[in-house]
Amino acid sequence: MDYLAGLNVTQREAVEQTEGPVMIVAGAGSGKTRVITYRVAHLIQKGIDPFNILVLTFTNKAAKEMRERITKVVGTEAKNIWMGTFHSVFAKILRVEAHHIGYPNNFTIYDTDDSKSLIKTILKEMSLDDKLYHHNYVYGRISMAKNNLISVAEYQQNEQIQADDHSSGRAFLGKIYETYVNRCFKAGAMDFDDLLFKTNVLLKEQPEVLYKYQNKFKYLMVDEYQDTNFSQYLIVKKLAAIRENLCVVGDDAQSIYAFRGANIQNILNFQKDYPDVKVFKLEQNYRSTQNIVNIANSIIANNKNQLEKNVFSANETGDKIKVTRSFSDNEEGKQVAEAIAQERADANLNWSDFAILYRTNAQSRSMEEALRKLGVPYKIYGGTSFYQRKEIKDLIAYFRLTFNPADEEAFKRVINYPARGIGKTTLDKIILAADKENKTLFDVIVDAQQYLDARAAAAVSNFATAIQSFAVVAKNQSAYDAALHIAQQSGLLKDLYDDKSVEGINRYENIQELLNGIKEFSEREDIEDRGLDVFMQDVALLTNDDKDKDDKDSVSLMTIHSSKGLEFPQVYIVGLEENLFPSQMSLNSRADLEEERRLFYVAVTRAEKKLNISYATSRFKFGTLINCEPSRFLDEIDPRYLEIELPKKASIANSGSFDDERTQWQSNTRYQPAQADVFSKPKPATKPLKTTSLLAKAHVPSEGFAPSDTSNLQVGHEVEHERFGYGKVLTLEGNKPDIKATIFFKEIGQKQLLLKFAKLRIV
């Protein structure tokens, strides 16, 4: 039992409570991964068969780390645990059970690009306006439907959904959804959302399959439970229904993925779902200094919808959190870059000890420019993944066709790459024939003479023969030998080798790197099946959070969403401005605003030793310079833990207020405060007063507030702004779409707004 010796009291209690429903509320940096891994190891030490344990995570990286830790305690038995992401575990189950719902066991998994490509094809075939029915919007609509388990039939019969689609001018969304689902089925393909949607269908329609896995998975653990959506929630609930040996781990304060369908109510209502649940709160933060933990607590305390906990740190007190103002986003970048370079030199740190976090990807520009000017190496997370590069996707498309010739998207991608004289006209004829005969595209080219002229038929027949030969090779050779054969015989490797440009050489090297990875996979001893088809399944299920390896010493730049789960000695959070952070899109409801606040909490708790926050008083947005207000979140931080720095003026550290700084900002932007200014606060007494949320003081929009079409706005019109209140238009200047309106608001005075962003209601 030595492995339990390093746990604190609460961690140990959570590990030892193996029976019945358990909820572990794990604050940031509280040793969550240690508790999960030791709890699984403890189950195995108690004699539970690892084949009966299911552990669900949100990234392959997390699953890999946990398995390695468990192996250190229990040895090779850890290999037998069912552990992985929701998508990888249920894809594995579907490979065995898919025939129950009419799918082949070798179904292809479409990634986001495949899905959007298919949607574009459908829009073109239906002659729909691709601006109104933008493929990203359509994809998001279908994805949200699947995550909420809304089938095609339910979508088309739901009066509210249909009313929404008609009012938006997109009455054909239901038909697009139906066509998309039918085409995926015909191609023997599931998209990422299907891996959960179809699992729910399987468990609902096939009771014997549900019973089989309920008895197989006698103990279930779910990591990051606050990030689960309705579909994931239902699968877990069904699988745990017999024994209820379900342990969920998460932190409601770090629920930041509502835009992906995550539902914070899953963790908030867990005690209602399981009244006899045992709750353990991991409240000691081992990661950050006391000051960082204290400001995180003061931020999240403003959320009403949360599980109560008292996170604390026994680490050093640490530096106060530095808040810096700059006059522009470019100056903000310059200040951050200079501060990082200076701090690295003074403290003898590595570049990799620093991270810059921002709310939107667009903010990286000013940071990148400033870092480049100083020669500071940096890496942006969230760029093009290795497996999303064109040449990699091209070769993988050949692999996909090898195992599933019905895969329409893979077929269209490589039918004429490398070039083999099969043009658009020939491809259109193949598609028409397939549609008319209700065949797959591959079925048509196998019997090409029936549908195409002699020259085209010969070209596509050769392609079909090649794919069929690849299938034979893949069945009888190792993953690496099969992959190399396909790369060579398809002509792809030669095509890239012949391109001697810098880009061509880089693409060729990327293919070599892919083949190296397959070679390593072929030689693994920890798995029994090492065929190319198994490698393909692993690649298809890589998540956005499974980053490429990069050991280069460099500063990390990323959105706050991308930073979740990471930690850095020093963190810079930039762009703390109203309408940027919190986002303008989040100001319409308390639920949205609370998610933005949780996002800020996540950003703050990435820091171990030092935290720096900055904002600008002006920023370029779509080519237009706009004035910016400090974020309301700054007012929610307990001023005792702040050190406020102003450019070209003496520091007002320990003033306990932003009043002096805000006065200067107001004069710079010709801001005219009303008598009851939403930014004014009482001066600190001998004991600092708790600051009041700006939200509570802001204008309350009229009931049913909705922005008007301002294309015909005129001087003299009365308007309402959701934050500034009621006002009158004084002047209009500029040309569409960049018309600026000068408006006098009764509550705050005169402001100049860009109409395309202003969201005004004409009274």
pLDDT tens-place string over residues 253-276? 999 988 888 889 999 999 999 999
Q: What is the pLDDT of residue 513?
A: 82
Q: Is the dihedral of CA 590, 596, 600, 602 positive or negative?
A: positive
**pLDDT higher than 50, residue 180:** yes
555-559 and 354-358 strand pairing: parallel
Q: What is the pLDDT of residue 736?
A: 79
CATH superfamily of 317-384+549-644: P-loop containing nucleotide triphosphate hydrolases (3.40.50.300)
Q: What is the pLDDT of residue 543?
A: 53
Q: What is the pLDDT of residue 5?
A: 82
**pLDDT higher than 50, residue 370:** yes
Model confidence band, residue 539 (pLDDT cutoffs 50, 70, 90): confident
Task: Show contacts of 370-375: CB within 8 Å, 24+ apart.
Answer: 370/330, 370/333, 370/334, 370/336, 370/337, 370/338, 371/333, 371/337, 371/340, 371/555, 373/334, 373/337, 374/337, 374/338, 374/341
**pLDDT higher than 70, residue 458:** yes
Q: What is the pLDDT of residue 321?
A: 94
Query: How big is the CA angle at 391 (ends 389 and 396), to the nearest 5 degrees?
Result: 95
- CA–CA dist 315, 759 (Å, integer): 46
**pLDDT higher than 80, residue 325:** yes
Model confidence band, residue 383 (pLDDT cutoffs 50, 70, 90): low
Q: What is the pLDDT of residue 711?
A: 84
Model confidence band, residue 651 (pLDDT cutoffs 50, 70, 90): very low
92-108 average pLDDT score: 93
Model confidence band, residue 220 (pLDDT cutoffs 50, 70, 90): very high
Model confidence band, residue 622 (pLDDT cutoffs 50, 70, 90): low
563-589 average pLDDT score: 91
Cross-strand partners of 624: 621
Q: What is the pLDDT of residue 531?
A: 87
Q: Which has the minimum average pLDDT: 49-63, 415-429, 521-535, 567-581?
A: 521-535
Q: What is the pLDDT of residue 385?
A: 64
**313 contacts 30 by C-beta, under 8 angstroms:** no
Query: What is the Cα gyration radius of the chain?
Result: 29
Q: What is the pLDDT of residue 559?
A: 92
pLDDT digits (tens, 9 = 90+) for 591-620: 899 999 999 999 999 999 999 999 999 887
CB atoms < 10 A from the CB of 390, how many?
11
> Is position 423 annotated in a ligand binding site?
no
Q: What is the mean pLDDT of the chain?
A: 86
| DSSP conformational letter for 688 | P
> Is position 741 annotated in a ligand binding site?
no
Q: What is the pLDDT of residue 763?
A: 87
Q: Looking at the domain covering 697-762, what would its CATH class be? A: mainly beta
Q: What is the pLDDT of residue 648?
A: 46
pLDDT digits (tens, 9 = 90+) for 141-160: 999 999 989 999 999 999 99
**pLDDT higher than 70, residue 687:** no
Of residues 458 and 513, more confidently modeled: 458
Q: Which of 575, 86, 93 is nearest to 360 (CA)?
A: 575
Q: What is the pLDDT of residue 646?
A: 63
- CA–CA dist 508, 487 (Å, integer): 11
Q: What is the pLDDT of residue 685?
A: 33
**pLDDT higher than 80, residue 625:** no
Model confidence band, residue 672 (pLDDT cutoffs 50, 70, 90): very low
Q: What is the pLDDT of residue 197?
A: 95
Percentage with pLDDT > 70 across the chain: 90
> Is position 27 annotated in a ligand binding site?
yes
Q: Is 121 helix (H, G, I), strand (E, B) or coil?
A: helix
618-621 and 725-733 strand pairing: unpaired
Alpha helices in 605-750 (DSSP H): 632-635, 659-668, 694-697
9-101+196-282: CATH topology = Rossmann fold (3.40.50)
> Is position 698 annotated in a ligand binding site?
no
pLDDT digits (tens, 9 = 90+) for 464-492: 999 999 999 999 898 999 999 999 999 99
740-745 and 749-754 strand pairing: antiparallel
Alpha helices in 321-440 (DSSP H): 329-347, 364-373, 390-403, 408-414, 424-437
Model confidence band, residue 697 (pLDDT cutoffs 50, 70, 90): very low
**pLDDT higher than 90, residue 735:** no
> Is position 26 annotated in a ligand binding site?
yes
**pLDDT higher than 60, residue 661:** no
Instruction: Count the residues in the chain.
Output: 763
pLDDT digits (tens, 9 = 90+) for 384-412: 567 778 899 999 999 999 999 999 999 99
- CA–CA dist 199, 415 (Å, integer): 32
| DSSP conformational letter for 76 | G
* 212-to-84, 87, 99, 209, 247 alpha-carbon distances in Å: 19, 19, 16, 5, 20
Q: Please name the residue that has the structure tokens 């209690």.
A: 13
Task: Show contacts of 121-127: CB within 8 Å, 24+ apart.
Answer: 121/412, 122/176, 122/179, 122/180, 122/183, 123/176, 126/172, 126/175, 126/176, 126/179
> Is position 63 annotated in a ligand binding site?
no
Q: What is the pLDDT of residue 620?
A: 73
Q: Is the dihedral of CA 401, 407, 410, 414 positive or negative?
A: positive
544-563 average pLDDT score: 75
Q: Which of 170, 119, 185, 175 is nearest to 152 (CA)?
A: 175
Of residues 513 and 761, more confidently modeled: 761
Percentage with pLDDT > 90 across the chain: 56
Residues labelled catalytic: 32-33, 223-224, 254, 606
Q: What is the pLDDT of residue 682?
A: 33
638-660 average pLDDT score: 58
Q: Is 546 helix (H, G, I), strand (E, B) or coil?
A: coil
Q: Is 174 helix (H, G, I), strand (E, B) or coil?
A: helix
pLDDT digits (tens, 9 = 90+) for 279-314: 999 999 999 999 999 999 999 999 998 888 889 999
**pLDDT higher than 60, residue 547:** no
Q: Which CATH architecture has domain 386-543?
A: Orthogonal Bundle (1.10)
18-33 average pLDDT score: 93
- CA–CA dist 567, 545 (Å, integer): 14
> Is position 33 annotated in a ligand binding site?
yes
> Is position 656 annotated in a ligand binding site?
no
Strands (E), 583-736: 607-616, 618-621, 624-627, 642-645, 718-721, 725-733
Model confidence band, residue 529 (pLDDT cutoffs 50, 70, 90): confident
676-686 average pLDDT score: 32
Model confidence band, residue 508 (pLDDT cutoffs 50, 70, 90): confident
**pLDDT higher than 80, residue 720:** yes
